[in-house]
Amino acid sequence: MKKLGHPNTAAEERAERAIRNMSVIDANKATYAVSAFPVASPSYHAVESTTFNVAPDGNGANLLLRLANDEVAELVDDDVAFVAAQRLHGLGLSPTLVARVPAERAVLFSRLDEGWRTAKIDDLMQEDAVVRLVEMQKTIAAGEPLGRPWSVFDGIDRLWPLISTSGAVLPGDVNWMLAWMTSIREAISASGVELRPAHGDPQSSNVMLGPDKALMLVDFDMAGDIDPYYQLGVQMNELYQFESWMKPLLEMHDGRFCEKAFNRCRLYAAADDLYWALRSLLQDVRSPLQGVEFLKYASWRFLRCRMLLGHPGFEERVRSL
């Protein structure tokens, strides 16, 4: 932990400016240190934000400062992310939000104690954990809109001009994957879409596991008003390799299994893989982080996308909606 006044990096300079603008912290006594180090593969963790543990009076780091990185700033609505953080804390599903400095894209949270850790896929595959995650998502979806209508197809549309002019090396079949997105989008749109508030990014690195198997959600950059089957499809894709293992999640979510709804989840999974592959490529071009395996992560997401799109029954899924 270090005192303010001797920043060694641009991130530390931002952190110190943010801390000095937060009345809950005594800048003359406060100390801080990096909380999490970035890893893109196998888990996309701490690569779009920089976090610091903060001891507001120099004794005990009980606060967490999150600085949103600028590399993907145009893809994030900071105001909606802040509203979502407040909303989820009010529901008991995320840590306490303490302060915000918009100019630094900085948000201060209460730091979860030593009994908490970042969840792993193996943790969330367990039945009690996955049941709780689905319940949390349904609780969030029952609330008022967050004010950011979003679909993964809108996300791909926003990303494509950025990545196609960035100099990133794209796979030879990217246009084939993009063409499938048009068919999937049209099929889902024709079947009807109901947008509901959502955390939007249920990967394991955004879930905290605490005492007595308690769960909390963190990182609200993807929060918005989203088709619930998108988030459910992403969660299935994150946790399980086999569709027979995925199907019970739909029963937990809807109270019954419906083949059309399951197909919708799987179509969204393919689109989500393409979205995050492109987003990771953009990070590879833009990010100052050295040694972070953005390309490896993007390659894995491209591979999983083409495997799903190329499955013999995939076109039938699209037509079934």
- pLDDT tens per residue across span 167-212: 999 999 999 999 999 999 999 999 999 999 999 998 999 999 999 8
Please indicate, yes or no, whether residues 58 and 140 belong to a single structural domain of this protein: no
> Is 214 inside any structural domain?
no
Q: 72: number of CA atoms within 13 Å, CB side?
A: 23
In this structure, what token pair is assigned to residue 109? 């949270």
pLDDT of residue 267: 98
Say which residues have a Cβ less than 8 Å from residue 7's Cβ, sequence separation at least 6. 13, 15, 16
Inter-residue contact 184 to 270 (CB < 8 Å):
yes
- Mean pLDDT value across residues 91-117: 95
Please indicate, yes or no, whether residues 190 and 262 belong to a single structural domain of this protein: yes
pLDDT of residue 218: 95
Please indicate, yes or no, whether residues 187 and 302 belong to a single structural domain of this protein: yes
Please indicate, yes or no, whether residues 88 and 233 belong to a single structural domain of this protein: no
Please indicate, yes or no, whether residues 135 and 281 belong to a single structural domain of this protein: yes
pLDDT tier, 44 (very low <50, low <70, confident <90, very high otherwise): confident
Dist. CA 97–CA 111, nearest whole Å:
10
Q: Is the pLDDT of residue 98 over 80?
A: yes
Scored b (16 or more CB within 10 A) or e, 116-155 reads bebbeeebbeeeebbebbbebbeebbeeeebebebbbbeb
pLDDT of residue 292: 81
Please indicate, yes or no, whether residues 296 and 160 belong to a single structural domain of this protein: yes
Please indicate, yes or no, whether residues 54 and 192 belong to a single structural domain of this protein: no
Query: Which of 82, 110, 138 delimits the end of a domain?
Result: 110
In this structure, what token pair is assigned to residue 144? 């008022």
**CA distances (Å), origin 23, targets 19, 89, 98, 111, 180:** 8, 21, 10, 17, 51
Please indicate, yes or no, whether residues 138 and 98 belong to a single structural domain of this protein: no
DSSP code per residue over 67-121: EE-STTGGG--HHHHHHHHHHHHHTTSSPPEEEEEGGGTEEEEEPP-TT-EE--H
> Is 188 inside any structural domain?
yes
Query: Which of 110, 144, 161 delimits the end of a domain?
Result: 110
pLDDT tier, 37 (very low <50, low <70, confident <90, very high otherwise): confident
CATH (domain of 56): 3.30.200.20
For a pLDDT cut of 90, what percent of the chain falls above it?
91
Please indicate, yes or no, whether residues 97 and 163 belong to a single structural domain of this protein: no
| 271-274 CB contacts, 8 Å cutoff, 24+ apart | 271/152, 271/153, 271/156, 271/181, 271/184, 271/185, 272/152, 272/230, 272/233, 272/234, 272/237, 273/237, 273/301, 273/302, 273/304, 273/305, 273/308, 274/156, 274/177, 274/178, 274/181, 274/301, 274/302, 274/305
> Is 117 inside any structural domain?
no
Q: Write down the mean pLDDT value for the chain.
A: 95
Please indicate, yes or no, whether residues 102 and 150 belong to a single structural domain of this protein: no
> Is 219 inside any structural domain?
no
- Mean pLDDT value across residues 69-88: 96
Q: Is the pLDDT of residue 290 over 80?
A: no
Cα 115 from chain centre? 23
> Is 216 inside any structural domain?
no
> Is 217 inside any structural domain?
no
Give me the number of domains the chain comprises: 2
> Is 19 inside any structural domain?
yes
CATH (domain of 315): 3.90.1200.10
In this structure, what token pair is assigned to residue 53? 């543990």
Give the structural domain span for 33.
2-110
Please indicate, yes or no, whether residues 8 and 139 belong to a single structural domain of this protein: no
Residue type, 131: V
Residue 43 backbone dihedrals phi, psi, to 5 degrees = -115, 130
> Is 125 inside any structural domain?
no
Global model pTM greater than 0.85: yes
Say which residues have a Cβ less than 8 Å from residue 109's Cβ, sequence separation at least 6. 63, 64, 65, 66, 85, 95, 96, 97, 98
pLDDT of residue 68: 96
Q: Is the pLDDT of residue 145 over 80?
A: yes
Please indicate, yes or no, whether residues 137 and 276 belong to a single structural domain of this protein: yes
Query: Which of 77, 110, 143 delimits the end of a domain?
Result: 110
pLDDT tier, 113 (very low <50, low <70, confident <90, very high otherwise): confident
- Mean pLDDT value across residues 270-296: 92
Q: Is the pLDDT of residue 291 over 80?
A: no
